[in-house]
Amino acid sequence: MLESRRALSYLASILFLFGLWGLLSVWLNNPGLPGPLVALQSLSRAFWPELARHLYISTYRVLGSLALALLLAVPLGLLAGRHPSLDSFLAPLVYLLYPVPKVALLPVAMVILGIGDGTKMLVIFLVIFNQILITTRDAARKIPPPLLLSVASLGAGKVSLYRQVILPACLPAIITAGRISLGSAISVLFLSETMAGNSGLGYFILDGLFRADYGAMFAGILAMAGMGLVLYIFLNLLEYLICPWQRL
Amino acid sequence: MIEVSDLGYTYGTGRGAVPALANINFCVPAGQTCVLIGPSGCGKTTLLYLLAGLLQPVRGEIRVGGERVTKPRQRTAIILQDYGLLPWKTVWGNAALGLALRRFSPRQQEERLRPLLAGLGLTGLEKRYPAELSGGQKQRVAIARALSLEPDILLMDEPFSALDALTREGLQQTLVAIQNQRRLTTVLVTHNIEEAVFLGQQIIVLTAAPGQIKGVLTNPGAGSQEYRFSGDFHHCCTRVRRLLQ
């Protein structure tokens, strides 16, 4: 019952957004913004093997950078949250580097790493690393001390405390950080793919624009939106599976 | 037997140091229940952490069975305020945690836990999460987890404070039954005078911070249901109340 109501509300939201989009396209009456039906038709007419190749490339760039950022930022965040001495070293670094627009480093990365996957993934990684690090550190800081003491009193060593208490306590925050980072990651991906190289959905969209093939352009935009939505749903599913207590 | 001599503890160092406990001396004979009672912030919980070996004294020492406590002891179990249950573990996962940490096989865990959970009325709730339990059920899971390690010392920090009167009395009875059965040496922190007098064969009244011992009462009648309705019970409650005032 609850699930079907939720599905209906999602459907209603999609219809609402498409309605707004349709109205805007009628109002603007510009070939640069076709209506949703035209865009969907262009998606069905798109050269799928080509679009799928770009979709695949973009997906692994986003997922790869997200996975790498999680792999490095989560342990560092957990340690910084629990060890004030490490945090006192890290916090000023993070604070100083946070306002620096990492995207501005894209040209530097291009010079050093070329225009391949490495450049794009490095810039995405740099943008989302801080977000995950800070969220994880703050979650690790907030763990109620009695929870740690009660498990320590049962005989848990340092490693067991991380495995049994600190990591699970931070999991919901880590997944939330993943969700927020996903949005940033896709934005940076688009920018980096439009700036360098000849692959990925960003390139595909820009190529459509330059060829004035707005159908292809919108097929790329819809594919990118779809990719974001699927990855978002994937993170929700992950939370559902690994944080069952959060559902209560 | 627990022996505490000349114990002192201070939070922080230098100018920011906050003394929490000073000149604490007492002794709890094996198999007895000692209740610590005092105003909020008097260092009761700190004293319990020190007894558990989770904190190290700044002054003095604690000995259990003649041995100095310098780290958490294998056979000391502690139940903290709010039960200390992990929200991400089920009843079974929480109750079995101590055993799992000490590398008991799943079969050994099963053998120890099944009768314990049944005795505490938790059978059938094994797959539930703490958020799905009542306060009394959570407390029983915490007791199961503590008893699974077959402790000889049980430390409890305001174990029944968040429960309604009937559940509280029921659990007090359960605790007394467990103690009689297992001959546990228990130290319990409470700010409820009736609870202190019902459970504590020895009642230690602490002063406001930094906590010092204001009085020690012996209360041999503690633990029996009839005692709750006797004149001695009320007399003892009055003495504790006077000391607290």
CATH code of residue A187: 1.10.3720.10
For chain A, the domain total comes to 1
How high is the pLDDT of residue A155?
85
pLDDT tens track for A81-129: 999 999 999 889 888 888 888 888 888 888 888 888 889 999 999 999 9
Asked whether residue A4 is assigned to any structural domain, the reply reads: no
Look at residue B162 and tell me whether its pLDDT is greater than 80.
no
B73 touches chain A (CB under 8 A): no
State residue A2's pLDDT score: 66
Query: What distance in Å separates the CA atoms of residue B130 and residue A176, rounded to the nearest whole number?
Result: 23
pLDDT-based confidence at residue B128 (cuts at 50, 70, 90): very high
pLDDT of B124 reads: 92
C-alpha–C-alpha distance, residues A16 and A217, integer Å: 22
pLDDT digits (tens, 9 = 90+) for B80-110: 888 889 999 999 999 999 999 999 999 999 9
Q: Is A1 on the interface with B (CB under 8 A)?
A: no
- Tens digit of pLDDT for each residue in B186-208? 999 998 898 899 999 999 998 88
User: In Å, how far is A74's CA from the nearest CA of chain B?
Assistant: 19
**Looking at per-residue confidence, does B178 or A143 come out higher?**
A143
CB-nearest to B84 from A146, A169, A243 is A146
From chain B, the residues in CB contact with A239 under 8 A are none
pTM of the shown model: 0.84
**Residue A75 falls within a domain, yes or no?**
yes
- pLDDT at position B168: 84
The DSSP element (H or E) to which B203 belongs, if any, is: strand B202-206
Domain membership of residue A144 (yes or no) is yes
Cross-strand bridge partners of residue B206: B213
Name the pLDDT band for B125 (thresholds 50, 70, 90). very high
**Residue A158 belongs to a domain:** yes
- The pLDDT score that the predictor gives to residue A16 is 94
Q: Is residue A5 part of a domain?
A: no
Distant-in-sequence, close-in-space partners of A76: CB < 8 Å, separation ≥ 6: A90, A133, A136
Closest CA to B113 of B82, B161, B149, B148: B148
Average pLDDT, chain B: 89
CB contacts < 8 A, A to B, total 59
pLDDT of the residue at B174: 86
Q: How confident is the model at residue B210 (pLDDT cuts 50, 70, 90)?
A: confident
| A24 falls within a domain | no
| Residues A165, B86: C-beta atoms closer than 8 Å | yes
Give this complex's ipTM.
0.83
Mean pLDDT, rounded, for B60-67: 90
Which residue positions in chain A have pLDDT lower than 70?
A: 1-2
A6 found inside a domain: no
Query: A25 in a domain, yes or no?
Result: no
Domain residue limits at A64: 31-247
